[in-house]
Amino acid sequence: MARPEPQNVRRLACIGAGLMGGGWVVHFLAQGLEVHAQDPDPGAGEKLKRLLERAWPRMVDLGLAKGASPDRWKITTKVAEACEGAEFVQESAPERVDLKTKLLAEIDRATDPDIVISSSTSGFVMSAMHGECVRPQRLVVGHPFNPPYLMPLVEVVGGSKTEAWAVDWACKFYDHFGHYAIKMDVEVPGFIANRLQQAIWHEALHMIVNGQATVEQIDAAQRQGPGLRWAMMGQFVLMHLAGGEGGIDHAMDHFGGPPESKYAYLKPPPMTPDLDRKIREGTKKIVGKKSYAELVRDRDKLLVAFRKAIAASEWDKR
């Protein structure tokens, strides 16, 4: 089977159907595609059904593509069965490099040679995982964000043996089917967004360890402060606005300062039992009695509202 143009894909495989794999299934179904999922856990199908039931109303809110149906999927425990006839494969198995190396090789053997295979890995580079593949030129990382049926970003990057066409194909595919692909030129563990998140996580840990802020205060500071702006503008445009009419030039003169800024720690503090306890207890206090399903519902409703608000504005048109 020849590789279809990205926009002509009709059937694909999702290998690993947990939180992310299941989320991908929801997204692709809402885009009108047919999905063959695979997971070695015999209970994965039931979990996926529950995930779909929770998420589908939000897909309806967001708008379904032609032909979208919550029923156009099936699941198997066998990789080869799910990959048969697949025009694209999204791998979302556990974050273990040994497991992914073996699994990607199995997917490589089970798929038509020109089909693009993408890994959801949060942090491994493809060069560390493609070692046992016969045709590594078509393997890319397509790093999603939770939940992938509502979060547009996918960071796409190839490994040392990936050919440029595969990265381009994957970006076009993700963009066509409702995501926002960022093509990265360089493989870097953690890609872009997780590096940023990691830096914030480390700073938060330092504040807790030093008794400067609690879990609740830090979460509130993000939500009521910069988090509201981050849905719309990134660090640099915000800095431009922070410079007033002088823009980024004034901001750099004013705030740019020496890189060894006085409030950046960056290296994480040790995860002591005390810090671990504070994180768990503080987080549970914020969450209160809300169940997982209620939290997902609240988050997803707001994500749909944010996405619609952003789409209705003149901002961020590609």
Given the rule CB under 6 A, which residues bind ligand NAD?
A: 15-21, 39-41, 44, 92-95, 99, 103, 120-122, 144-146
Pick 94 or 288: Cβ nearer ligand NAD: 94
Kind of pairing between the strands at 88-91 and 11-15: parallel
Least Å distance, CB 136 to ligand NAD, is 18
Q: At what angle do helices 44-62 and 19-30 cross, to 10 degrees?
A: 40
In angstroms, rounded to a whole number, what is the distance separating the alpha carbons of residues 241 and 288? 36
Least Å distance, CB 134 to ligand NAD, is 19
Pick 196 or 248: Cβ nearer ligand NAD: 196
Q: Which two tokens stand for residue 15?
A: 């290998």
Of 44, 36, 111, whose CA–CA distance to 103 is shortest? Answer: 111
Least Å distance, CB 299 to ligand NAD, is 12
Integer angstrom CA distances of residue 83 from 7, 42, 67, 104: 19, 18, 22, 12
Least Å distance, CB 146 to ligand NAD, is 3
Pick 21 or 243: Cβ nearer ligand NAD: 21
Residue nearest to ligand NAD (CB): 18
Least Å distance, CB 260 to ligand NAD, is 32
Distance of CA 297 to the CA centre of its chain: 18
In angstroms, rounded to a whole number, what is the distance separating the alpha carbons of residues 91 and 121? 8
Pick 22 or 243: Cβ nearer ligand NAD: 22
Distance of CA 250 to the CA centre of its chain: 34
Pick 18 or 131: Cβ nearer ligand NAD: 18
